[in-house]
Structure 1
Amino acid sequence: MTVLVVTNDFPPRQGGIETFVRSLCDELPDVVVYTSREPGDTAYDATLPFPVIRDRTSTLLPTARATRRAVQLMHEYDADRVLFGAAAPLGLMGPALRRAGARRIVAMTHGHETWWAGVPGVRRALRRIGDAADALTTVSAWCAEQIAPALSPAAVRRMHRLTPGVDTKRFHPGCGGEQIRKGLGLDGVPVVACVSRLIRRKGQDTLIRAWPSVRQEVPDAALLLVGGGPDREYLEELAASVGVADAVVFTGAVPWAEIPPYVDAADVFAMPCRTRRFGLEPEALGIVTLEASAAGKPVVVGDSGGAADTVRHGTTGYLVDPYNPAAVGVRIVELLTNAQHGVALGAAGRKWVEDEWSWRRTGSTLRELLGV
């Protein structure tokens, strides 16, 4: 039973959804991927144990041409199961793929479908996607609450939670952080790390605004911003303007395979993510927070969308107001000045991830939904 995965979110493009979809492919017994073009894709695809067919475009859309190609691939690879890596808009191909012989169709939702649910025109499209799928998955309880009102009652009954798993063999205490600290000149320095693309929603600017107050209490504390993105120049200028340029270290983009040691380099992981654009741009989940917990780090996370699902407040870390730099700073100082407390939160986080956020559990859920 071959599964055709239809998605725009696939490496070498970097991001949480891309990592999620790629990892799910390893949980399926037989898979073929239909996705969009991306710089470096030929070399990347050559490393994979399954076929990847790239569309000629950089963004795969549910056009008649792309739908015909998906149907051709179903026949060519004898695929009778379909997984849409992101329900909107590619899930609109669902009825055509059903007619072509798809026995089970699963459409995954992440975060952007939540604004589809609130906009009249595309809301109807989301309803059609839900009606065409045998299962519509959500990454968090918050996402499910936002999407459900746009769906038919029958589609709501077919909603299931499907969360990313965490590879606790890659993310664990001592997975290379010491070498990263030495390489960056941070050996022996209290380090708070944020691992994410440099975009406004992730809240790196909130951390920089909090840093003067953090340094008043912990004078040598360093802020490590891991990742690339369009906001780097803005963040560098902000750090200079508030007088902490010497305390903020930018790594630039880091390949996904090399991320664990950067997480391990931190004493505290912090990502005060926030909801932007009048509620249309939330944080759907935030798998990197769970990866930090797996590495035994206490976490400080912004209260946005489904991000609350990634922390047990007071047990594995803290949920904070992402629009309040002072409050964020207070939690960071608390963790940096009470190492024993931070270690306890990190240990609790590690156990929680091992117990409830495994890829084994995620893969089992997906295979059940697809009937493979």
Structure 2
Amino acid sequence: MRSVQRVDKCLAAACLVISRHAKFCEGARAMRLLLVTPIYPPTRGGIQTLLYQLTASLPGTDVKVITAKERGWEAHDASSGQLIKRVWVPEVSPLIRNAMFNFAALGALYGWRPDVVLCGHIVASPASWMIAKRFKAAHVVYAYGREIGIRPALAAWALRRSNAAIAISAYTRGELLAAAHGATLPPIHVVSPGVNLPDDIGRCDASRPTVLTVARMRDWYKGHDRLLDALPLVIQEVPNVHWVVIGEGKIRAELERRAKAAALLGNVSFLGEVDEDVKESWLSCAHVFAMPSRYPEDEAGGEGFGIVYLEAGARGLPSVASNIGAPTEVVVDGKTGILVDADSPPAIAAALIRLLTDADYARKLGSAARRRVETGFTWELVGQQLHSVLDEVAIAQSGP
């Protein structure tokens, strides 16, 4: 008799799970996801790219985006294939702009009830939380890394008011836990970013031994200064080395001044912000990718993941990266690149010299980096992982 009762209980539990899941199953309507984010393409950046690619890669999901109007948004939205609602926010200080975006976003959704509200940046969490509360939807917060160090109190506030959080790395998950100071938290899932695999990975090989860095030149933690300090050591072994730097920002002028003072302009090209085709060309022609990001005490946050390491790997490039923090989750030391002390120019130089002078070794690491991306970091795979998390959260929120 007891065994029959246990079977009945199991069947009842199974039926409950099935009934909760039914509305998202084949033959029923797709899960509805609302993304609330102040930054989104056509503006450039790692977060913008991640959010666009993820929402475009989610299987079986109806997605709507609430974001700010930016230059070129009409052409982008017309060709995106996504349902995007833009709100106007004036060009004012970041604090006021974020507040005004939250206010505008609250009135931007009507006639569409989401199952999950995804906060694409913690500065939008007041609006995303209130929208989720209004529609009794699940509230999920996306976390990247640096923004947590800049706004730890807001990150903790948003996390406490979510049903789940998604961190782009184990490092970022640790930053969220630290910001919460031991408070009871919802589940924090780690879902790494991805990349699109190029159709053609044929190498063009630049005429000179070429080291490539692609990073915004806004903060010193990306490692531009340490690479510049390492360059004279590399030149001693590889005199015609060429360091190509793609990216723009406030530290560029200082780096150019230092390069000129050290008589290194013949070995360095600061290209600034370039079109995607130009970036792709350099990724295909360079011999090594280098971005030794570090975590300095005088700068908030640091590298939360580093999608550009994956972009380099997808094109068969080995990377030189930091041996601490999030880069260690992307670059496998001695397998897909070389991890170094990012504060040590001699260590950085030694890694670059090894990869520039040992073509077979560099080719071996680059091929392994490509395979690693293919098997674990395509947007299709990442979209499936994210969908699984969101589906689980939506089912739990919907109740029996």
Q: Which residue of 2 aligns with 1:165?
A: 194
Unaligned runs of 5+ in 2: 1-30, 395-400
Residue 332 of structure 1 pairs with residue 352 of structure 2: yes
Deviating 4+ runs (over 4 angstroms): 58-63, 65-69, 152-155
CA contact (8 A) 1:81 1:102 kept: no
Among candidates 289, 299, 320, match of residue 340 of structure 2: 320
Q: Which residue of 2 aligns with 1:105?
A: 139
**CA distance in structure 1 between the aligned counterparts of 2:279 and 2:104, rounded to whole angstroms:** 35
Q: Give deviations 1:41-60, integer Å, cap 9, x for gaps.
A: 23322222123222221568
SS at match of 2:135: coil
**CA distance in structure 2 between the aligned counterparts of 1:95 and 1:338, rounded to whole angstroms:** 53
Q: CA deviation at 1:107?
A: 0.9
CA contact (8 A) 1:268 1:297 kept: yes
Q: Which residue of 2 aligns with 1:361?
A: 381
**CA distance in structure 2 between the aligned counterparts of 1:358 and 1:334, rounded to whole angstroms:** 29
Q: Which residue of 1 aligns with 2:13?
A: none
Q: Which amino acid aligns with 2:57?
A: E
CA contact (8 A) 1:283 1:304 kept: no
**CA distance in structure 2 between the aligned counterparts of 1:284 and 1:333, rounded to whole angstroms:** 27
Among candidates 81, 90, 106, match of residue 116 of structure 2: 81
**CA distance in structure 1 between the aligned counterparts of 2:147 and 2:293, rounded to whole angstroms:** 18
SS at match of 2:156: helix
Residue 6 of structure 1 pairs with residue 26 of structure 2: no
Q: Which residue of 2 aligns with 1:53?
A: 85
**CA distance in structure 2 between the aligned counterparts of 1:124 and 1:226, rounded to whole angstroms:** 34
Q: 1:369 and 1:153, CA in 2 relative to 1: closer, same or farther beyond 3 A?
A: farther
Q: CA deviation at 1:131?
A: 2.4
Q: Which amino acid aligns with 1:194?
A: T
Identity of aligned residues (%): 30
Q: Which residue of 2 aligns with 1:22?
A: 52
Q: Which residue of 2 aligns with 1:240?
A: 260
Q: Which residue of 2 aligns with 1:184?
A: none
Residues 135-214 of structure 1: pairs in structure 2 closer than 5 A: 135-151=164-180, 156-169=185-198, 173-174=201-202, 178=204, 187-199=206-218, 200-214=220-234
Q: CA deviation at 1:235?
A: 1.6
Q: Which amino acid aligns with 1:255?
A: D
Q: Which amino acid aligns with 2:145?
A: G
Tell me whether 340-349 or 151-160 shows the greater mean CA deviation.
151-160
SS at match of 2:33: strand
SS at match of 1:246: coil
**CA distance in structure 2 between the aligned counterparts of 1:222 and 1:76, rounded to whole angstroms:** 56
Q: Give deviations 1:53-111, integer Å, cap 9, x for gaps.
A: 22221568664x6556434443333333211112x222233442233114222210001
Residue 36 of structure 1 pairs with residue 68 of structure 2: yes
CA contact (8 A) 1:92 1:125 kept: no
Q: CA deviation at 1:327?
A: 1.2
Q: Which amino acid aligns with 1:2?
A: R
Q: CA deviation at 1:40?
A: 2.4
**CA distance in structure 2 between the aligned counterparts of 1:258 and 1:22, rounded to whole angstroms:** 21
Tell me whether 198-207 or 282-291 shows the greater mean CA deviation.
198-207
Q: CA deviation at 1:123?
A: 4.2
Q: CA deviation at 1:314?
A: 1.0
**CA distance in structure 2 between the aligned counterparts of 1:215 and 1:99, rounded to whole angstroms:** 59
Residues 175-324 of structure 1: pairs in structure 2 closer than 5 A: 178=204, 187-199=206-218, 200-256=220-276, 258-278=278-298, 280-303=300-323, 305-324=325-344
Q: CA deviation at 1:150?
A: 3.3
SS at match of 1:305: coil
**Equivalenced residues, count:** 355
Q: Which amino acid aligns with 2:81?
A: P
Unaligned runs of 5+ in 1: 117-121, 182-186
Q: Which amino acid aligns with 1:52?
A: I
Q: 1:135 and 1:254, CA in 2 relative to 1: closer, same or farther beyond 3 A?
A: same
CA contact (8 A) 1:105 1:370 kept: no
**CA distance in structure 2 between the aligned counterparts of 1:102 and 1:84, rounded to whole angstroms:** 15
Q: Give deviations 1:263-303, integer Å, cap 9, x for gaps.
A: 11110111111223535231111110111111111110124
Among candidates 102, 105, 111, match of residue 70 of structure 1: 105
Q: 1:112 and 1:342, CA in 2 relative to 1: closer, same or farther beyond 3 A?
A: same
Q: Give deviations 1:90-138, integer Å, cap 9, x for gaps.
A: 223344223311422221000134315xxxxx54443331122121011
Q: CA deviation at 1:304?
A: 5.1
Residue 91 of structure 1 pairs with residue 111 of structure 2: no
CA contact (8 A) 1:4 1:74 kept: no
Q: Give deviations 1:127-167, integer Å, cap 9, x for gaps.
A: 33112212101111111112113338786451001211121
Q: Structure 2 length normalisation: TM-score?
A: 0.81
Q: 1:67 and 1:202, CA in 2 relative to 1: closer, same or farther beyond 3 A?
A: closer
Q: 1:94 and 1:36, CA in 2 relative to 1: closer, same or farther beyond 3 A?
A: closer
Q: Give deviations 1:168-226, integer Å, cap 9, x for gaps.
A: 135x632xx63xx7xxxxx4211111111123221122212211111110111111111
Q: 1:62 and 1:266, CA in 2 relative to 1: closer, same or farther beyond 3 A?
A: closer
**CA distance in structure 1 between the aligned counterparts of 2:233 and 2:73, rounded to whole angstroms:** 44
